[in-house]
Amino acid sequence: MHEYYAMNRSKFKKGMDKFLSLVAPELEKTSGKKYAELFEEIWDYYEKQLLERFPYIGGDKVSGTKNLTGAYYFVAMGEVLKRYGATIEDVGHIMVYAYERNTLKTPKFVRTLMGKLYRSPKLLNKMLLKKDAKNAENTAVNPGSFETQTQIPPEAGFDFSYHNLVCPLANFARKYGYEEYMRYLCNLDYVNFGLLGAPLYREHTCFEDGDYCDFKLKLNAKPLPYWPPVFSQDNPYK
């Protein structure tokens, strides 16, 4: 285990509890166990099977670390729930509930302001170009970290677009056999964007296509419904 993860065990455990406690009723119903007991089982899996193997991609200095460690809370949850008969679809639905409830904890006026940000391409471009540069600097030191590229002008038919060129989540899934979770983890972007009123459309993912993940916004469109998962609906989006 990298020393960064070893030193921050307690922080990650608190972060996991923050998310999973939001779906305690669903976890208890699915497993037949009390939340506190099941949580320790999930944490044990996370610590020994995931935290032990995570690559170091910049630690607290980069937002991508939280993406990696947080997304795999749900993978650990899924691996444990499967012991009690849950399907990957069951796990994916509980992921959505957790992400939805966490987003809705944010005060409505804050979510409204965030939604306005997603409807301001000029401001988004300015922010994401800075993120591109920061990610490039980090990748030079920590290969395999997130790399992004803002698309200016945006792709045809959209008001804003950027590409995620490297995804540590997908790379880790391929290396250690967690591929079945990736489409459900990607679907969580639609939960977050949708609750902010931001109409996200994605036609590529690093995991499925091997090239990039695209995040594209149509300002005058309605957000896609996120359950059933976007990838399972009758549309070309992922």
Using CA atoms in the order 108, 201, 93, 25, what is the torsion angle rounded to 10 degrees?
Answer: -10
Alpha helices (H) in 57-120, listed in sequence order: 64-81, 88-104, 108-117
H helix and E strand count, the chain: 11, 4
One pLDDT digit (tens) per residue for the chain, 238 residues = 999 999 999 999 999 999 999 999 999 999 999 999 999 999 999 999 999 999 999 999 998 999 999 999 999 999 999 999 999 999 999 999 999 999 999 999 999 999 999 999 999 999 999 999 999 999 999 999 999 999 999 999 999 999 999 999 999 999 999 999 999 999 999 999 999 999 999 999 999 998 999 999 999 899 999 999 999 999 999 9
| Overall pTM > 0.95 | yes
pLDDT at 129: 97
pLDDT at 128: 96
d(CA 200, CA 182): 18
Q: Which residues of 16-48 are buried (b: 16+ CB within 10 A; e: fewer)?
A: bbebbebbbebbeebbeeebeebbebbbebbbe
**Could you give the 3-state DSSP secondary structure of residue 125?**
helix
d(CA 105, CA 111): 10
pLDDT at 210: 85
Residues 6+ apart with CB under 8 A from 160: 121, 124, 125, 154, 216, 217, 219
CA-to-CA dists, residue 147 to 125, 133, 134, 137, angstroms: 16, 9, 9, 10
For residue 131 the two structure tokens come to: 């993120």
